[in-house]
Amino acid sequence: MGNSNRKSRFYKAFLLLLARATTPELVKQVQFLKTENAMMRGMLPKRINLTPAQKRRLLRFGKPLGGAIRHFISIVSYRTFCRWRGEKRGPKRNLKIGRPRTEAELTEIVVRFARENDGWGYTRILGEMKKLGLRKIARNTVKNILIAHGFDPAPRRGEGTWDEFLKLHRTTLWAMDFLTKEVWTAIGRVTYHVLFFVEIATRRVHVTGITHSPDGPWMAQQARNLSILFEETGSRPEIILKDGDKKITAQFDDILASCGVRVKKISRKSPNLNAYAESWASAIKRECLDKFIVMGERHLRYLVHQYVAWFNSVRPHQGLDNAVIGDAPSVPPEKVRVRDGLVCESRLGGLLNHYRRVA
């Protein structure tokens, strides 16, 4: 009780002092009180938990000051004070303003149509939805959905890109190229050439020949071997993409043309047009051949054979959504070990591994 009386007398004296003070004196007094308050706040913990009654007192004296309170308040942040003031008024009503959002199912259908059909604009998508009897939505709604999901709402026009061409024709396209490897032989170091073909649609690789002398007769024989491969596998491309390598002779092209396969030369200085072949040549070098000092042609053939069998049968491919190509001619693994219900099959001394579950 005595403590309450002392506080009451202090506030009365303070208010009497303020009433008698002039404006310059008030400024000095306020400055003194702010300095004193800052010193006292420095001695207190960083966070001060106030009771509901103390919050109400701050609100009662602070609200009349309006926005000027930001220059005085120090016990809590100005943002916290504003939040208290909002709670005092009561929670805001959750009012839904504007048109209702498009149903998630319709949004999913619009995105699917755009993803699976590069040449469709929002008008074409709207027509397809109407044909299917789906709920009618506005043209701008379809347009906004496409923009929100990163699609161009206008249909594509013009000749298109090389990637689009490959996507449309990939089932009829193969790519061919040479890769080279330095091989140590009895007469010294010799450069060997490996001729390979890539099925663009499936990523399957065919190596038809390895030689240190890829002359015209050898290339003609590779063309004949390739025609036999077409008959055995039942897989025949319409076009084989090649670069400007002089080793690929006109006779090679003519033999394949007699089988109904056209060899198409890509533009000069455009390695990206033969990207699938370039990618495979880099992969076999990086993942296999560069790891070995190759001693003789037989050693090179063994390494290439092991890698191709691993690549075609068990290696996941990002371009196929991390699926494997499929069955390939079986090459017995060098060793098999079982751990934790998994079988690890290794090739080339553990350089090429793959895993499968125990049956």
Read off the pLDDT of residues 173-221 as tens digits, 9 standing for 90 and up: 899 999 999 999 999 999 999 999 999 888 899 999 999 999 999 999 9
Residue type, 174: W
Contacts of 105 (CB under 8 A, 6+ apart): none
Per-residue pLDDT, 329 = 45
- Kindly report which listed range (77-81, 155-159, 211-215) carries the lowest average pLDDT score: 155-159
Q: Is the pLDDT of residue 151 over 90?
A: no
Confidence label for 252 from pLDDT (cuts 50, 70 and 90): very high
Cβ atoms 259, 194 nearer than 8 A? no
The pLDDT value given to residue 193: 96
Q: What is the pLDDT of residue 330?
A: 47
- Give the angle 162-166-168 at the CA atoms, nearest 5°: 115
pLDDT average, residue stretch 141-165: 71
* 330 three-state secondary structure: coil
pLDDT surpasses 70 at 159: no
Asked if pLDDT for residue 262 goes beyond 60, the answer is yes
Output the CA torsion 197→198→199→202 (10° steps).
150
Q: Domains of the chain: which residue ranges?
A: 19-89, 104-148, 167-325
In degrees, rounded to 5, the angle at the alpha carbon of residue 309 between the alpha carbons of residues 305 and 315 is: 135
Task: Write out pLDDT tens, residues 10-51.
Answer: 555 555 555 555 556 666 766 776 777 777 767 777 677 778
Give me the pLDDT at residue 359, please: 62
Average pLDDT over residues 273-297: 90
Q: Partners of 210 in the beta sheet?
A: 194
Q: How far lies 317's CA from each of 239, 283, 287, 311, 324, in Å?
A: 23, 12, 14, 9, 6
Strand-pair partners of 357: 342
Q: How many CB atoms lie within 10 A of CB 207?
A: 16
Residues in Cβ contact with 181 at an 8 Å cutoff, skipping those fewer than 6 apart: 191, 192, 194, 285, 289, 294, 300
The pLDDT, as a whole number, for residue 356 is 73
Mean pLDDT value of segment 331-343: 59
pLDDT of the residue at 336? 56
* Mean of pLDDT values over 292-304: 95
- Given pLDDT bands bounded at 50, 70 and 90, which one contains residue 106? confident
Q: In angstroms, rounded to a whole number, what is the distance separating the alpha carbons of residues 34 and 63?
A: 18
As a dihedral over the C-alpha atoms of residue 84, residue 86, residue 87, residue 92, rounded to 10 degrees, the angle is: -160
* Residue 347 burial (C-beta neighbours within 10 Å; 0-12, 13-18, 19+): buried
Q: What is the model's pLDDT at position 328?
A: 42
The residue count for the chain: 359
pLDDT over 70 percentage in the chain: 73
**Res 119 pLDDT > 80:** no
Distance separating alpha carbons of residues 298 and 190, to the nearest angstrom? 13
Show the tokens assigned to 328: 């390939």
Whole-number average pLDDT of the chain: 78
Fold for the domain defined by 167-325: Nucleotidyltransferase; domain 5 (3.30.420)
Q: Stretch 81-101: mean pLDDT, rounded?
A: 60
> What is the C-alpha separation between 319 and 200, in angstroms, rounded?
10
Q: What's the pLDDT score for residue 164?
A: 63
pLDDT at residue 292, rounded to an integer = 93
| pLDDT on residue 239 | 87
